[in-house]
Structure 1
Amino acid sequence: MSLHTEHYGAGPDLVLLHGWGLSSAIWQPLIEPLASHYRLTLIDIPGLGQSPTLECTSIDSVAEMLLDGAPERAVWLGWSLGGALALAVANRAPERVSQLVLTAATPCFVQRDDWPCAMAEETFDAFASGLGDNGAKTLSRFAMLQTQGSTSARQELRLLKQVIAASAADEQGLVATLALLAEDLRPLLAHVSHPLMLMLGEQDPLVPIEMAEHIGSLRADAVIRRYATAAHLPFITEPARFIEDLDDFIAGSRL
């Protein structure tokens, strides 16, 4: 079973993974500037976008499917859920990943007693239960939450709604991929040794900026880039700086 994959540009390989409830179309504003100096591989996560839904979805099975459609070695950039999956890929096949970039992502999306810098468990449970009641309403609420606090909230919400409408993910895919966000991947982050950068919005209601202070206990060498005006979509809020930071990191830490 193959995943929907798109390629653009030429140069060093860069894989882009999108977030929950969406598709690779979320990267559309970045394709032209990035494709001028990278060979982009955009992959729709199983169960989302134009990729088929797996009957049994685990973080390892999804990572394996992503690897099947990816270059032999690349920088992996994952946003939100895509960041968790990029981390799983790096752990499963370290030789396939040169550098790891987590955007508005965290190794643990849901609060634990020893990890308060995350989404409250009751908020996550409300999204999970809401899918069965009204999936469209749940996705709309999730889109609004992602933009809260951003200086370009209207633009971002419009883009999210367009991508959601075009993606038309089914309930099975949404439920299966949401469950991936409940996993605690902190041991994986502590284990991988790839050059690592986190790109975080200071206004993000889903991945609190305080998380940056806790990453040091797992990866003291992680590069942190903070975007003061951004919420959950820093690559849309501050695209020029986002691309500049990405370029600098890739050039400076290339193995």
Structure 2
Amino acid sequence: MSEELTTTLISGWGAPVSMIAPVTGTDADHTDPHSLDDDLIHPRETVDDAAARLLEEAPPASVWVGWSLGAQVAVAAAHQAPDRVQGVVTLCATPCFVERDDWPCGMDRDTFDEFHRAAHDTPEREWHRFMLLQIRGDRHESSARRQLRRWLNAGPPTDDATLMDTLDWLASLDERDRWQTIPVPSLHLFGDCDQLVSADTASHLRSQGMNTALIPDMAHWPWGHYTEEVAERIDRFYHEDVQS
């Protein structure tokens, strides 16, 4: 009999992990959820520091699922402790968020720099703007906006300093080499309508031999009916790739 899937779930920039909790299925007892908040991120720390801290308390064997920026923490954990991380699923994530001369899939540098400067001046306003960008392009954007309202009304799940520290990660991280050498089975899922992480990233990574898939009609936030497909793909990955 195959083992039941246990997941370590990590959220993205400025987003509480409750936003994506359904992607791991209905059994909360087998999910270890984490937001990139003050409890996890200490001042001036790195992605590797966050991964090391999570490894201290994560289940001894689980599939690490990272949404957006959280994927960088999952990948880092796999490199630090491949005996503890059974597999990695990245969800609407990229190894390099901002474009570079040899990386056309990233966000336009000038656009990101403008957002970065504005976030230093008015972090909560820019956080609100970023949250809305996560549903832009979704085929059901108006419904997604209604569903997103509860988190928008609650405000950021962390303080301004942590928001800016983790935004700096997005500005500087280039983990392409690390993603190509993940020492455990991996799956990279993308929304084909995502306005923050280009769907072209999927074909780019696939050309390098990585296991990728596109979720039709989905933007950056895997909400509502998309969560069922994401959960099914994660479960299939676990049973077909991790346990094989």
TM-score (norm 1): 0.86
Paired position in structure 2 for 1:34: 26
What is the percent sequence identity of the aligned residues? 31
Match 1:16 to one of 9, 12, 16: 9
CA distance in structure 1 between the aligned counterparts of 2:84 and 2:142, rounded to whole angstroms: 37
Q: Give runs of ≥4 in structure 1 deviating > 6 Å.
A: none
- C-alpha change, 1:52 and 1:67, in structure 2 (3 Å) is closer
Match 2:211 to one of 220, 223, 243: 223
- The size of the alignment, in residue pairs, is 239
CA distance in structure 2 between the aligned counterparts of 1:186 and 1:238, rounded to whole angstroms: 27
CA distance in structure 2 between the aligned counterparts of 1:43 and 1:163, rounded to whole angstroms: 16
- Tell me how large the CA RMSD over aligned residues is: 2.1
1:193-238 Cα deviation digits (max 9, x unpaired): 31111111111111111111211354x0x32221221110235452
Q: Is the 8 A contact 2:41 2:50 kept in 1?
A: no
Instruction: Answer yes or no: is 1:156 the counterpart of 2:144.
Output: yes
Match 1:199 to one of 181, 189, 193: 189
Match 2:18 to one of 10, 14, 25: 25
Paired position in structure 2 for 1:4: none
The residue correspondences of 1:74-113 to structure 2 (distance < 5 A) are: 74-113=62-101
Paired position in structure 2 for 1:6: none
Q: Is the 8 A contact 2:7 2:64 kept in 1?
A: yes
Paired position in structure 2 for 1:145: 133
Gaps of 5+ in 1: 1-9
- C-alpha change, 1:18 and 1:159, in structure 2 (3 Å) is farther
> Secondary structure of the residue that 2:20 maps to in structure 1?
helix
Match 1:246 to one of 209, 219, 234: 234
1:44 partner letter: S
Paired position in structure 1 for 2:164: 175
> Secondary structure of the residue that 2:95 maps to in structure 1?
coil
> Secondary structure of the residue that 2:73 maps to in structure 1?
helix
CA distance in structure 1 between the aligned counterparts of 2:10 and 2:224, rounded to whole angstroms: 15
Paired position in structure 2 for 1:43: 34
> Secondary structure of the residue that 2:66 maps to in structure 1?
strand
Q: Is the 8 A contact 2:78 2:182 kept in 1?
A: yes
Q: Is the 8 A contact 1:151 1:237 kept in 2?
A: no
1:48-91 Cα deviation digits (max 9, x unpaired): xxx26412211211111121221112101110011111111111
CA distance in structure 2 between the aligned counterparts of 1:44 and 1:178, rounded to whole angstroms: 14
CA distance in structure 2 between the aligned counterparts of 1:75 and 1:151, rounded to whole angstroms: 29
> Secondary structure of the residue that 1:149 maps to in structure 2?
coil
